[in-house]
Amino acid sequence: MIIVEENKCDFCGTCVAVCPVDAIELFEAQIDILHDRCIDCDLCVWICPIEVLHTVEKEMASA
């Protein structure tokens, strides 16, 4: 599952451009991952210029 370190994000849209299933929503100063659409491909994690996105195990995220 993808998590966002939101206070680090620059809202640049680079992750949105590579997401194959349109699962990232970006406003002027807010980013949301649409978890029901996300297929955990990690492309967004790899492209972010400043390492804002991370993968965590589902159990950890809910813990």
Partner 1 sequence: MKDEYDLIVVGGGPAGSTAAKFAAEGGASVLMLEKDRDIGMPVRCGEAVGAEGLARFIEPNDKWIASKINSFRLVSPAGLSVDIEGLSDGGYVLDRRIFDYELALMAGNAGATIMTKAYVYDLVKEGDSVKGVKIKYLNEKVEFRSKIIIAADGVESRVGRWAGLKTTIKLKDMESAIQISVGNVDCKPNRLDFYLGSEVAPGGYLWVFPKGDKYANIGLGVAGNHNKSKSARKYLDNFMEKNYPEASILTTVVGGVPCAHTLPKIAADNIMLAGDAAHMVNPVSGGGIVSGMQGGRLAGTRAAEAIRAGDYSYKFLTKYEKQWHKLLGKSYERMYKIKSAVGKLTDDDLNRTAEIISSLPQSKRTLGRVFKTALMKHPKLLFDVVRAFASV
Round to whole Å and give the CA distance between 32 and 36.
12
Q: At closest approach, how far in Å is the CB of 61 from partner 1?
A: 22
Q: At closest approach, how far in Å is the CB of 60 from partner 1?
A: 22
Residues that bind ligand SF4 in the complex, under the rule CB under 6 A = 2, 9-15, 19, 21, 23-24, 26, 31, 33, 38-44, 48, 50, 52-53
Q: Site map for partner 1, 12-41, x if CB under 8 A?
A: xxx-xxxxx-x--xxxx-------------
